[in-house]
A and B are shown apart, each in its own frame.
Chain A
Amino acid sequence: MTDLKPITALNGDSAAVDTIATLTIRENPDLALASVAARHGAGDTVAARLKDALSLSLLAPAHWAAAGDYAAIWLGPDQWMVNAEYGTHALLASDLKAIVGDAGSVTEQTDGWCCFDVEGEQLVAAFERLCALDFAQMQPGQANRTTIHHLGCLVVRTDAGASVFGPRSSARSLHHALIEAAYSVA
């Protein structure tokens, strides 16, 4: 067990939480991420192996699914982003590689991203000001790539609200954009 102490994407010792009127923006550092890309012709094999091992479904474009500790977001043709809690799955990438074997390429993505969970009544109004997605029509189980404040992001619709994945190095800028949108619609 390393004695190095991690910090969050916002350079904090703990996750930042901001509540603005009805909206809550919560930094989520407890995420392990890994991309799984099927090798040529092996899409079905990768899907079957993850289904067998983790009960995890790899869904079609613009969708995501969860099973147990894991969730998988469609990322591109034959490519998904799998996530799980970091605390219990810090070695997610190597675990997944062990499952998919030569059928897929697995890449560590954990700290490539920051994640903010956004919840509250003004969710739709806030996202109208953040990105070009038709957020009002997005249902839990859907996810899509978009641009927020010039940053390439993933917006994942959840039962509670939405999770925004953005580039970790720009976490402060992304957080700023979320906060401003929240004030705008408060």
Chain B
Amino acid sequence: MTINRLKGGLVDHGAPLNFTFDGKTYQGLAGDTLASALLANGRRLMGRSFKYHRPRGVMTAGSEEPNALVELREGGRQEPNTRATTVELFDGLTANSQNRIGSLERDLMGVNDLFANFLSAGFYYKTFMWPRAFWEKIYEPIIRNAAGLGSVSFEDDPDLYDKGFLHCDLLVIGAGPAGLAAALTAGRAGARVILAEEDFLLGGRLLAETSGLEDQSGLGWVTQAQAELSAMDNVRIMPRTTVAGAYDHGIYGAVERVSDHLAVPEAGKPRQCFWRIYSKRALVCAGALERPIAFENNDRPGVMLAGATRAYANRWAVTPAQSVVVFANSDDGHKTAADLMAKGIEVPAIVDIRADAPALPGTEVLAGAQIIDTKGRLGVTSVTVRLANGQTRSIACGAVANSGGWNPNLGLTCHQRGRPTWNDHIHAFVPGADLPVGQLVAGAAAGQFSTHAALTTGAEQAVAALADLGITASVGDLPKAEDAPRAMTPFWHVKGAKRAWVDFQNDVTVKDVKLSHQEGFRAVEHLKRYTTLGMATDQGKTSNVTGLAVMAELTGKSIPETGTTIYRPPYVPVAMGTLAGRSVGKEFHPTRLTPSHKWAEEQGAVFVEVGNWLRAQWFPKAGETTWRDSVDREVTATRQSVGVCDVTTLGKIDVQGPDAAEFLNKLYINGFAKLAVGKVRYGVMLREDGIAYDDGTAARLAEDHFVVTTTTANAVLVYRNMEFARQCLFPGLDVQIISTTEAWAQYAVAGPNSRKLLQKIVDPEFDISNEAFPFMGCREITVCGGLRARLFRISFSGELAYEIAVPTRYGDALIRRLMAEGEEFNVTPYGTEALGVMRIEKGHAVGNELNGTTTAANLGMARMVSKKKDCIGNTLSERDGLNREGDYRLVGLKPKEAQKMIPAGAHMMSQTGSVDAASDQGYVTSACYSPSLESYIALGFLKDGANRMGETLRMVNPLEGTELLAEVVSAHFVDPEGGRLRD
């Protein structure tokens, strides 16, 4: 039964919608919010307070709501802390109250309120001190459980979230009278306009008032304005869109609730979209927020802001009760009383703190009076009023419309540390001079509270904003509107109240502010932290100024002297899913697939993520039970015959130009100027501080043309550094670079039969015999009947080996051809694990060894450093600290017991000394089982390693309490002379 539903309003009385709250079914109307629909059904109790678990009802009619927070929807779609005032009702909506144990009516945690004296501001700083061990395990969990908000379901959110980007000349934030006037002005001038409105209807307070315009209804003008704007191609109207943050360079973040008004989003459609709006100018027309007067027990359900009460009656055709007392310090409260009475609601009295309060027909105005208390367990049933003569009177009512004045909505104007200024006329902060660049403010957000002022400042500020952009606009015809002065007497709280709420969501009372003052936390930021005033999800929208006013009274300072806290985005809570957008699950980041990926999948390869790449780690065969079985087989087969590995992921950078060789000389520690065309050279690059950071090869295809390869991990970094060197360090060198990593499918073909295999696919006019194409050769060839290709005779495995590259589109076909042609050699595909084993067996360094602390000398490559030229990092690599006697050198390690694994990361200690940092001799960087040696092996850095061959050391793993003995050997376990490479 909708006992509090009125006639009229902007709801569709012919369109009932069913919904449930706490499991009970109710009926609302299309156009309702959850809050208005609950009020219509006589539900004032909607939640429990944060700390004391006091019964709470709706207080506002907008996103500033501190009380009516619910868990909306269920299962994966459950969303906690949702403001019932902003939830657009839909058929089938399910909501539950939160932060309670037991029913909402009988919340067991309500016992907290009995111990309120012990739970005052900062109580947790003073209590629960002992024993210390209880802090984290006992006290904190209990406190967090007792005080809190909604819960999450821990199920995956099934909905989609988009991100998007918009551009405009003028972003108008808010579609009340100021915003609509601004959008019309700018739209008519031909500017690109975005009009963003948090509500699902345009109009702002015009929808909530009966007295805004003089010659037509507010709704009529809004409808007309919306129609005109909708017809303009240059104007984009975005309802259900909250601009949540103002960022640098005119960029604003906005959340569009695309499907929140539906039970389930349409297939493929997002629930919300997070827009990044690039604006040339932005006009904040975000209106103002009413502030409550603090009085004893002012938090009972039914005590609401007067402007909200009026909005519920006029727009949503509901009332919180059939009898409403108004408490006011200005004529604005009288307006609420008049509108309620016009709707047939009884207003027994207007309690006006002003001694000269005007009379209002139809109700009793108690001038100079104050509400000093309320009664009612789950909702207000009466108020106690102290009259001007000092007598008290109890007045029965079901609601209180509380009006303490209005605060301009400053959030977006202060997101870049702007400081508002105090306006003595309206007794509120208004935007200061340090607005975000390109931002202007109009209407109530600028402290212009009359409808006339909102319309005119909206239009005028739009003209000013566009004039900055060279767009001529003019203030057109605007409707006649009320322009009444907003006289009010500042009044923040009723003196003598013990429990008068200032911050409703975080349960901060006047008494708490006083306590903060008493304890010395008087600076505004201290007040905030000590009491948590303004730190809840509503960010103190209805409480901050009142809190400051109370503190100002206590300190004897003015409110502006007391100051304001910093405003930060987002203006309203934004769901994590919205911020994540589409980057979730397996689409968290893009995936890079190698040219042989499709084929490798068919082979049942096990893949590993290497950055964004998916690389085949190994290729299991039937009967193999562990990864080691596969890897050992792949290594052995490659060393005995031939193996093929996709090495496309290695970075490839095309370097051309007459100064290409000179350019590479400056990048690598070794020289490239004399590298012959058709030859490849291994090189190492240093950071500017002299530490080695990448290695690879450079192949000279022509006098002015090199192809540089990098490690997979550093492909982007090396390219970026090269581009920096080209543009900034050596702009005089005539060199051009571009990445070609993706353009070529590249396979390592390794093993004693690799040449024989390649000879079957390389076109016969190309001689790749050892004599014609020796080790470290490169050339452009054709394969398989004319397909252009590049062949490099280089080896990472230590075997006779090649890398062959073809255009990527042929990569799939080439791997299949290599496998087919290699059958007679038992060709074996190998993955990154076998690749790693073979490079350790050969003593080749990778990222484990180029770990950000090692120099070329540490790597045993000191002789590679050319003294005939300079290179990036060369000077700092000569620092004494990097060239100490007995410094680390790369060595090989063999366990005394071949089948005992040397753990990577183990530290080397002498056989008999103590195990501590001071005795540390070095550390293990890479370790594996070597099927070639039938033993575990490892690489590591050992102090003075080059001179300690044959020494036995302990490999200590203090983390796991293990150690074993290993012998220091050459890092080149396999073919140390390199004969296989050159055969």
Whether a CB of chain A sits under 8 angstroms from the CB of B589 is yes
Taking the complex as formed, is B489 at the interface, i.e. its CB lies under 8 A from any CB of chain A? no
Number of chain B residues whose Cβ lies closer than 8 Å to a Cβ of chain A: 60
Cβ-based interface call for B738 (8 A):
yes
Does B941 lie at the interface of the complex (its beta carbon under 8 Å from any beta carbon of A)?
no
Q: Which of A102, A128, A180 contacts B166 (CB 8 A)?
A: A128
Q: With a 10 A CB-CB cut-off, give which of A91, A149, A151 has the most chain B CB atoms.
A: A149
With known contacts A3-B785, A105-B656, A173-B590, A129–B273 Cβ distance under 8 A? yes
Stretch at the interface among A4-12, A60-68, A154-162: A4-12
B810 contacts A6, CB within 8 Å? yes
Query: Nearest Cβ distance between residue B247 and chain A, in whole angstroms?
Result: 13
How many chain A residues touch B (CB < 8 A): the figure is 53
Q: Mark B590-607, 1 if CB is under 8 A from A, else 0.
A: 111110011000000000
Does A111 lie within 8 Å of B807, measured CB to CB? Answer: yes
Interface of chain B residues 775 through 816 with chain A (CB within 8 A): 782-788, 806-810, 812-814
Tell me whether B273 and A4 are in contact (CB under 8 A): no
* B688 part of interface (Cβ distance < 8 Å): no
Report how many A-B pairs have Cβ atoms within 8 Å: 151
Query: Counting CB contacts under 8 A, is B480 at the interface?
Result: no
- Choose from A108, A111, A150 the contact partner of B809 (Cβ within 8 Å): A111
* Chain A: CB-nearest residue to B236: A136
A residues near B738, Cβ cutoff 8 Å? 35, 37, 79, 107, 109
Q: Are B268 and A150 in contact, CB atoms less than 8 angstroms apart?
A: no
Known: A37-B736, A109-B743. A173 touches B587 (CB 8 A): yes
Q: Is B162 an interface residue (CB 8 A)?
A: yes
Asked if A98 CB lies within 8 Å of chain B CBs, one says no
In the bound assembly, the distance between CA atoms of A16 and B742 in angstroms comes to: 20
Q: Is the CB of A111 within 8 A of B808?
A: yes
Contact A6 B167 (CB under 8 A): no
Partner pick for B167 among A137, A151, A170, CB 8 A cutoff: A137
Q: How far is the CA of A150 from the CA of B163 in the complex (A)?
A: 12
Docked CA distance A105–B734 (Å) = 10
- Nearest CB in chain B: distance from A174 CB, A: 7
Q: Which one, B742, B806, B809, contacts A167 given CB within 8 A? A: B742
Known: A2-B785, A39-B658, A184-B268. A112 touches B590 (CB 8 A): no
Q: Is B516 an interface residue (CB 8 A)?
A: no
Chain A residue numbers with a CB within 8 Å of B704 are: 102, 105
Looking at the assembled complex, report how far the CB atom of A130 sits from the nearest CB atom of chain B, in whole angstroms: 8
- Are the CB atoms of B656 and A107 closer together than 8 Å? yes
Complex: A177 Cα to B587 Cα, angstroms: 9
Residues of A within 8 A of B591 (CB): 170, 172-173
Q: Does B270 contact A (CB under 8 A)?
A: yes
Contacts of B612 in A (CB 8 A): 170
Shortest distance between the CB of A118 and any CB in chain B (Å) = 16
The chain B residue sitting closest to A107, CB to CB, is: B654
A22 at the interface (CB under 8 A from B): no
| Known A-B contacts A129-B163, A186-B268; A29 and B809 likewise in contact (beta carbons under 8 Å) | yes
The digit string for B928-945, where 1 denotes a CB below 8 A from any CB of A, is: 000000000000000000
Across the interface, do A111 and B743 meet the contact criterion of CB distance under 8 Å?
A: yes
Asked whether B270 lies within 8 Å of A184 as measured between CB atoms, the reply is yes
B597 touches A11 (CB 8 A): yes
Also in contact, A112 and B741, with CB within 8 A (given A105-B656, A167-B592): yes
Which of A2, A39, A183 is B268 in contact with, Cβ under 8 Å? A183
Determine whether the beta carbon of A109 is less than 8 Å from that of B740: yes
- Is B188 interfacial (CB 8 A cutoff)? no
Within 8 A of B (CB), among A16-37: 29, 35, 37
Q: Which of A102-126 contact B (CB under 8 A)?
A: 102, 105-113
> Is A51 located at the chain interface by the 8 A CB criterion?
no
Q: Which residue of chain B is the closest to A86 with respect to CB atoms? A: B809
Closest Cβ of chain A to B260, distance in Å, is 15
Contact of B590 among A107, A131, A134, A151 (CB under 8 A): A151
* Known contacts A4-B784, A134-B167, A170-B591; A112/B160 CB under 8 A: no
B278 surroundings in chain A (CB, below 8 A): 132, 134
* Chain B residues within 8 Å of A106, by CB: 656
Q: Give the interface of A toward B (CB within 8 A).
A: 1-9, 11, 29, 35, 37, 39-40, 79, 91, 102, 105-113, 128-129, 131-134, 136-137, 149-151, 167-174, 176-177, 180-181, 183-184, 186
Chain B residues packing against A (C-beta within 8 Å): 160, 162-167, 267-270, 273, 276, 278, 582-583, 587, 589-594, 597-598, 612-613, 648, 654, 656-658, 704-705, 734, 736, 738-745, 782-788, 806-810, 812-814, 817
19 contacts between A and B (CB under 8 A): A4-B806, A9-B809, A11-B598, A39-B658, A105-B704, A106-B656, A108-B740, A109-B740, A112-B741, A129-B163, A129-B164, A134-B278, A150-B583, A150-B589, A169-B593, A170-B592, A173-B590, A173-B591, A184-B160
A-B contacts besides A111-B808, A180-B582, 8 pairs, CB < 8 Å: A4-B810, A39-B657, A40-B734, A107-B740, A149-B587, A173-B591, A180-B268, A181-B162
